[in-house]
Every structure is written in C-alpha cells, then in structure tokens.
Amino acid sequence: MNDFYGQEYEKNEYEEFCNIIENANIKSVFQPIISLIDGSVMGYEALSRGPKNSHMNNPEILLNMARKFNKLWEIEELFRSKALENISEKNINAKIFLNINPNIIDSSKFKNSFTKDYLKKYHLSSDNIIFEITERNDINDMSSFKETIEDWKNQKYKIAIDDAGSGNSGLNRIAHINPHYIKLDMELIRDVDKHSTKQAIIKSMHEFSKLTNCSLIAEGIETKDELRTLVDIGVQYGQGYFIQKPEASILPIKNEVINLIKKLNIKEDSQYGYNIANVYISSIAKKIEIEEPDILVSDIDSKFKKNQDLLGICIVDNGYVKGVVTRNSFYSKLGWQYGYSLYSSKAISNIMNTNFLSVDYKMPIDMVIKLAMARSKDTLYDHITVTKDSKYYGMVTIKDLIEKTIEIEVDNARHSNPLTGLPGNVIIEQKLEKCIFSKEQYCVLYFDIDNFKPYNDVYGFENGDKIIKLLAKAISSNISCRDFIGHIGGDDFIVIVGYWKAEKLCKKIINDFDSNTLECYDEKDINNGYITAQNRHSIVEKFPLVSVSIAGLTNKRREFESVHALAKESSKLKKRCKQNNGSCYLII
C-alpha cells in the first residue's frame, strides 16, 4: 500500500514538474550587484522562481527534481531563456549574471544558445553577459572545461566564480579558470564584522583579486555592520537583502543605502588634514573637446592626428554623455588591414565605448581613485568622465589625478610630525574644533608618557624616539579608520573616538604599550623595576619604568565651548591621572 502511494506521489510530482517545463511556468527575478564605493549598479544576478503557490517555487527544489527526472538541461535552459526574455522586455542596460552548471557550459546545446544571432534576438551583447559558474558542482573534465572557458572569453563573455569559500576546492577552480569576478559565499559574509578569521580570509582574497585583475563580489549582505566591514576591507561589489531583495521589477537602489556606502568610504583618516576625501573631483575637471554621436570616424581621426596631446573625446548628445573615444581604443579598432575603410564613413557612435567610468562632480577624489584603479588593465589609464546632474561637466586624466594626490600628500607632510608621520597641531586643532561643534558624542583622549625624561637621559634620544613610536603604534593599531590620532609633540598624543568605546580602547593600548616597552630596557632594570638617573636637581634618584597616563574627556555630561577650555580641563585631569603608579586612565 505504501509503495502504491509512493509511486502515485512520484507520478504526480513528475507530471507537475513536466507541466512547469511545458508551460514555461517560470518567473525571473533580479537582484542588483552594486559598487561598494559609490552605490552605483554594476549589474544584476538573474534568478528563477517556480509557480508561486507550489512547493516547486524554490529553484533548488526544481533543480533537484530535474536531476531526479533527468531533465537538468531542460530546466536550466528554461531558467536562462526566461531571464533573457525578461531582460529584453525590461530593457536592462547593465551586466547580467546567469547561473550556469559547469558541466553543461561546454555542451553543444549550450553553445548554440549563446551565439551572437541568438543574443541579437534579445538585443543583448556578449560584453554584458557573465556566466556565473557555481562551486557546488564538480567539473568532470577540467582540461576540456578550461578550453571552453577560454573560448567563451574570446567571444567577450565574462566569467564569475560563484560561492567562493564553500563547496569544491575553490582556490583550485579559481586558479584554473582565472575569472573576471569572484563571488564570496554568503556564509563567509555572515557576521563577518564579528569574526576576525573571516575578515582575514576576505582580506587575502582582496589582495589576490588585485594581483589577478579580477573583482570581488560579496553575496548575502544582510546588515549594516557586515557592509561596513566589507567597505573597510576594500571589497569592490556587493549584493544582498540589506541592499535590495530579488524583485521581478527593476527598482532603484534606496538613497539611504547609497548615502551610507558613500559615507563609509569617506575615511576621516588620521593621516590627513587636507584630506583627499574632502576634495571634490570638480576641482581638477577640465572641459575638454566634445563631439556629437553622428560625427564621422574620419573626422575623429583628423582631430587625433591634428592634436597629438588629445587622448580622449566625450561623445555628448543634448548634454548627456553617450560614450567616449580614447586614442588607444580608436586606433586599435582602425589598425587592422580593413579597419579604416570599414569604419571611416560611419558615425562614431558605431565604435565609441559605451562602458566608461563616469562620476558625479561632487565625488571625493579618493573615491574616484578607487573606481579608476578597479578598472580592467586595458582601460586603467583612460580618462574619467565627470557629470553634473547627469550631464557632461568635464574630464579628468589619470595624470591629473596623480598630480593632485601628490600635491595633497606634500601639503599633509608639512603639517605632520616628522617622527611619527601623524598629524601635528594645526590639524589637531581643526579636528578638535570640528568635534566640539558637532552634535556627535565623543571622547578626547590625551596620552602622556610617564618617567620619559629619565629614560631619555639614561638610554639616549634614539631609544627615547623608539618609546614614542611604540606608543604611536599601540594607539594606531587599536583605533579604527574612523577615529583620529594626532601627535601633539614629544611624548604627547591625542585621540578622538566615540565615548562608548574609549574605556576598552584605553585598556588595549595600555596592555600593548606596557608589554612592548619592556624590550627597550636592560634585563637588570627590568628585574629591579626601576632605573637610576639624576633628577632636575642633579640628585641621583630611582625612577619607575615608563608608563602611560591617559586623560579622557567626553561631552556626555558637559559641553566644551572652545578648544582652549577642553585643553585646560584635560591638563587638570592629566595631573590627577599621573598621581597613580604605572599606566592608568581616567575618563569623565
């Protein structure tokens, strides 16, 4: 009886599955993949769903059924054809990530599905199609698979490795395929802000991606803290429910998400006063010559030959940038035997590059640098198009960008302490003023090394400098990129942090400083626990080993009306703190 019902259930299940395929009862949904630098949409992952009120709504169940009933090709072909059909209907002009089983990518059926003629039917270009190879499936013949991948690359398709960090030996597969994109598995992203091991893995993958000229995509971002951690590491792209859930419609990214990403990328870094994060790209944009889309290729050729310094031209229609033409890409297209005769009498719109880097005129220079350096090798040194209200504003060359960055760096050096390279008093005062007049809750920590003069007298200035650098290192290694550290001078430092983390920070810095400074003493002095030196009255005296006193002032209970008032109060608190033996802190 049980066998009968089991067979009947399987029969009904088979009929329901076949009915889905026959009626193409599949819905496509799209999840955006966005830049973690400026929040712009880079592309969409096309995902599939079964009938809404069926247990086969879940694509994993459909795939399991397909394997069970030996119809894997049919279901995957339906997923892809529906996705392409929807992309065409919605006129999506972005990169599309299509999930592909690695064992069908080199089949003749699959190759016939992605001919140029087939894509024309959907008004698509292979440049915008990314085959997303899932890591959850074994590859039966790696040698044949590699040849197929290279063939697809030669046809301008891009390759992404999905679920990196899970499944089947991801590093081996990445090494064989050399993909354009690596998608980090969502289990690696989950609670990444709480796990230093996950952060270390992602950091190493980020370094790897830079060396191999591919881009990382973090999948499954679900919280603000996960996003913040990924931005801090430098992961280029991300997707997940925190950004946007998969939807049948193409919806804009919420402004709060875009603004958060931009805010996270503005590093209020302690190294800079005149910060590249505070300088807009508009300050170096130049209104270089522009042309309209219908200008002939031969006319562009004449302009490049007439002006050897002209490296690129923006193609603009009614104020909107439609494409760019760079000298290198232009002549690479015309350089072959019949190139000039084929294109010379055609409009430049036929060969202009429509996939170019465009930034808003109010984008900070440091963000522009990140975007520019994330480009592929063949476009790395192309100019950057600048827009205002989505219309042409100007252009910036990489040379301009580098020169401005150097100018800022030189200016920073003038205001930095020569021993530690940390910001000096000019920048410290600016930061304190900004801190006092902001409405954010803060804690200002003043650091002073105890018994530093006797140590300097006994061990010499060179070792004294080493002690100062050790304190700078102990502070710098424990604060985040959003905190500020400044070197007032001598053995005095200042840090500005959120008051809620000040106490924990002080404990970590004291622990690191006390353990590291022991290396700066002779064994005899360490065993004694003191050194002998002359005091200010030339009398030999015993002095304890160096320690650090930290005076912390918050605006939790009191508002300070000026930097002078803050400094005066901190001086009093520091005297109280130094009355204690050994390293200590006082926060009020």
**Protein fold of 2-265:** TIM Barrel (3.20.20)
User: Which tens digit of pLDDT belongs to each residue from 64-89?
Assistant: 888 888 888 888 888 888 888 888 88
Please report which confidence band the pLDDT of residue 269 belongs to, taking 50, 70 and 90 as the band edges: very low
φ, ψ for residue 577 (rounded to 5)? -65, -40
Reported confidence tier of residue 1, pLDDT bands at 50, 70, 90: very low
pLDDT digits (tens, 9 = 90+) for 142-195: 778 888 888 888 888 888 988 776 554 456 677 778 888 999 989 999 999 888
- Rounded to 5 degrees, φ, ψ at 288 are -80, 160
C-alpha distances out from residue 89 to 48, 203, 276, Å: 16, 39, 42
Q: Where do the DSSP E strands lie in 56-174?
A: 95-100, 129-133, 158-164
- Only one residue has tokens 């910036």, namely 396
Residue with tokens 């009915």: 19
Equal CATH topology for 2-265 and 416-587: no
Top-confidence residue, 474 or 378: 474
**Lowest-pLDDT choice from 5-9, 46-50, 292-296:** 5-9
- The tens digit of pLDDT for each residue in 23-34 reads 888 899 999 999
Residue 199: DSSP 8-state: H
Q: Which of residues 356 and 175 earns the better pLDDT score?
A: 356
> How many Cα atoms within 13 Å fall on the side-chain side of residue 449?
29
Q: Could you state, in order of their start, the residue ranges of all structural domains in the chain?
A: 2-265, 278-405, 416-587
- pLDDT winner (highest mean) among 227-236, 336-345, 355-364, 433-442: 227-236
Among 42, 244, 249, which Cα is nearest to 128's? 42
Fold classification of 416-587 (topology level): Alpha-Beta Plaits (3.30.70)
Q: Considering the chain, what is the average pLDDT of its residues?
A: 85
Helix (H, G, I), strand (E, B), or coil: what is residue 113? helix
**Which superfamily does 278-405 belong to?**
CBS-domain (3.10.580.10)
pLDDT of residue 138: 61
Q: Give the separation between CA 447 and CA 470, rounded to whole angstroms.
A: 13
Q: Which two tokens stand for residue 119?
A: 């894509």
Q: Three-state secondary structure along 311-376? A: CEEEEEECCEEEEEEEHHHHHHHHCCCCHHHHHCCCEHHHCCECCCCEEECCCEHHHHHHHHHCCC
What SS3 class is residue 161? strand
- Phi/psi region, residue 220 (left: phi>0; alpha: psi -120 to 50; beta: rest), is left
- The pLDDT assigned to 189 comes to 94
Residue-level pLDDT at 507:
94
β-bridge partners, 367: none
Q: What is the pLDDT of residue 9?
A: 60
CA-CA distance, 49 to 80, in Å (whole number)? Answer: 12
The arrangement of strands across the sheet holding 547-554 comes to 484-489, 492-497, 443-450, 547-554, 584-587
For position 52, what pLDDT does the model report?
82
Please give the Cα distance from 413 to 423 (Å, whole number): 8
The region that residue 441 occupies, defined by phi over 0 for left and psi between -120 and 50 for alpha, beta otherwise, is beta
